[in-house]
Chain A
């Protein structure tokens, strides 16, 4: 087996396509474990993992925690809302205090882009980035690509449109890196105000018309409008956004092919995605959640297996 080249999973940008394939192959086996009567393996039984979340999360934290438990790791959870961070402690101090309790791995979410990279230069433990601001969310991109591979057989040569708030999305950036490394074609689509100015320099197609994007793609990964990160107004109203960029059944019925609909969650029903699409047979949203646990098990297993 190829050795996993990284000590940390900070972003998809830092890992190779071989690493991604290694993660997928390992995740295939963990997915099999998750479908057994006993869904637990003892691999990480002497490993302690701290889930350090400086930003709110439900799905990702639960998914990581379940992955850790399925691997028999010991886990501790930390969220900034009720901690000493509020009392003025620095990031390195907070994490070093957690590590003093003999923790081997840190899964971290932080609102500042680059926070896990900064931490990786100051501490010994393996770090998994569970989302850093508007920068990267590597495990989400891995599970998205893994779900496409599962649904369509392969990622290479597939056309994937990422639709919505690209500007504030760490999922979009990680997805672009991941899909391109696996040989897929990527398009971003959204209102011009929500597309980063130099996005085309990443080698992606840019489209403003959602209909054209849907006609082009095999897979549409629809993103949430991140109102909490928007300090100014980027579009007149949610209603108008929904009218121009919301995806509904009527829109999909006009296409001469069947496309796969994905969403990293949480969905704002009626805004970016209508219920008649989110709950339809086109959607693999719940499979993404299921695959998330297998992918996170694979990442933790591979990072922990390095001596």
Chain B
């Protein structure tokens, strides 16, 4: 199967703008809300989101990066050690509304680990999940996004790759590729 484009730069921009307005609609001035990007790739989405939010609203948005490596359930089940990334959260989430941001929702295991890791920073009042791509019918855990950019039907043999210009790619784009063709 060939590489198939799911979202191009324009569509991504529209989705990110929609996300911003949905967040403002649900969270008003972000007074009691924090956004957490799931490391490593969710943080790139969060950065874009924050950039866009700043253009739309003057309210400051508390945000940080959350790494769930040490909370994953596939420890000792892989050939290579899991690489940890920086967790950058300099506030407590006690009694706050948390929006977890990631690029692709697949099995739901990363999100489960992230919720586990998140609890180390306090007991949130409510947790929501925002993803650019929701891979339908692939979940191992009962996890559903509150906000999604696009739902796609994919096979186990496929991979959803998210490319950002800031990461050295030609354009922002999201593709579905066969795993063997994965970059």
Contacts and interface: CB of A to CB of B under 8 A. Distances in A.
Contacts of A44: 75
A306 B70 contact: no
B75 A1 contact: no
Contacts of B165: none
Contacts of B77: 307
A43 B75 contact: yes
Given A305-B75, A305-B76, A305-B81, A37 B87 contact: no
B78 A37 contact: no
B86 interface: yes
Given A36-B121, A37-B122, A305-B76, A29 B82 contact: no
Nearest to A1: B83
B67 interface: yes
A41 interface: yes
Contacts of A4: 81
Interface residues of A, number: 26
Contacts of A16: none
B119 A38 contact: yes
Contacts of B75: 43-44, 304-305
Interface string A34-47: 00111011111010
A103 interface: no
A32 B86 contact: yes
B84 A26 contact: yes
A293 to B, nearest CB: 14
A27 to B, nearest CB: 10
Interface of B is mostly: loop
Interface string B21-42: 0000000000000000000000
Nearest to B77: A307
A159 B67 CA distance: 35
B120 A37 contact: yes
Main secondary structure of the interface of A (DSSP, over half): loop
A305 B81 CA distance: 5
A58 interface: no
B79 A36 contact: no
Nearest to A33: B70
A305 B82 contact: yes
A301 B70 CA distance: 9
A1 B81 contact: yes
A272 to B, nearest CB: 37
Interface in A279-307: 301-302, 304-307
Given A29-B87, A37-B120, A38-B119, A307 B81 contact: no
B71 interface: yes
B69 interface: yes
Nearest to A26: B84
A71, A302, A306 — which one has the most chain B CB atoms within 10 A of its CB? A306
A43 B81 contact: no
Contacts of B71: 41-43
A254 interface: no
A304 to B, nearest CB: 7
Contacts of A26: 81, 84
A41 B70 contact: yes
B92 interface: yes
Nearest to A4: B81
A71 B85 CA distance: 17
A29 B84 contact: yes
A30 B123 CA distance: 22
Interface in A44-97: 44, 46, 71
Contacts of B84: 25-26, 29
Given A1-B80, A3-B79, 4 more contacts: A32-B86, A38-B121, A40-B120, A41-B71
Interface of A: 1, 3-4, 22, 25-26, 28-29, 32-33, 36-38, 40-44, 46, 71, 301-302, 304-307
5 contacts: A3-B80, A32-B87, A38-B121, A304-B75, A306-B81
Interface of B: 67, 69-71, 75-87, 92, 116-117, 119-122
Nearest 10 CB-CB pairs, A to B?
A1-B83, A41-B70, A38-B120, A305-B81, A29-B84, A43-B70, A36-B120, A3-B80, A43-B75, A1-B81
